Amino acid sequence: MNIKEYGNLFNLTGKSALVIGGGSGIGAAASKGLAAFGAEVICADISTDNAEKTAAEINADGAKASALKIDITNIDGLIKTIEGLDKLDILVSTPAVNVRKPILDYTADEFDKVINLNLKGNFFAMQAAGKRMAAQGGGSIILFASIRALMVEPGQSVYAATKAGTLSIVRTLAAELGDKGVRANAIGPGVVETPLTAPIKNNPDWYNAYASRNALGRWARADELAGPVVYLASDASSYVTGTLTLVDGGWTAIDGRFTPPL
């Protein structure tokens, strides 16, 4: 490769990216990052207003984006939406929910709530995108796991199980569709300031304890996840599949531990 070709490694011009959860938090940041490198982004979210807000911000900066309503727990609707897209080269899916409770206090409804969104919804989004990408001979799928795929703390049982499961299905898809040119990878954030973690931010002791338990001594901003998404979506990672990219401020390197109030 010559210098110019290296300079194009992150170029996503002509690519179409569907970002599920693109209305807020990490999904919004991922949408903007992909658009900044030339992708035409479909910002999909259960909140149409939030999806339209992200798309409007992207378009106002001269990039290309549209908005779409998706409920990742409505499996039939999810699959039909993905099948109906004109073009799909990149899938990014970020939605997750957590019910922080000891295992002995968990109810069946709470279990189903976390499993249905975090694992089942992401599985069928990945499946539908994988079918399209296999048929067209290539594509990149990026799902969000967590440091909780590797290590847990009290109150995180079902959430952690879904994130470990997410990593497993990503690795399996990578193994099954590698010969079709489809890559599948997971990103494992540490503590990130998003709507999901807002309740922790409102508890100063809890918030500060998490900040002190990673090497950088702070929480991540949502926009700090955009770079890894762009990398995994682009030709810069053309030989990367089946991986977990940790973006955790060194949390797993130093094995931070905090027992939260439950």
DSSP H or E stretch at residue 81: helix 75-83
Out of 24, 163, 234, 237, pick the active-site residue: 163
- The one-letter amino acid code at 181 reads G
Q: What is the DSSP letter of 61?
A: T
* Buried-exposed string 241-259: b where 16+ CB fall within 10 A, e elsewhere: bbbbbbbbbebbeeebeee
Residue 192 DSSP label: B
Q: Compute the Cα dihedral for 77, 83, 84, 86 and give only its sign.
A: positive
From the list 159, 210, 231, 237, the catalytic residue is 159
Cα distance between residue 227 and residue 122, in whole Å:
21
- Which residue among the candidates 24, 93, 140, 146 is catalytic per the annotation? 146
159 is known as an active-site residue: yes
Closest CA to 185 of 237, 119, 128: 237
146 in catalytic set:
yes
Q: Distance between CA atoms of 59 and 57, rounded to whole angstroms?
A: 6
Q: Give me the residues paired with residue 44 across strands.
A: 20, 68
Strand 139-144 to 90-93 pairing: parallel
Do 54 and 43 touch, CB atoms closer than 8 A? yes
Q: How many residues does the chain have?
A: 262
User: Contact at 8 Å (CB) between 196 and 220?
Assistant: no
* Residues recognised as catalytic: 146, 159, 163
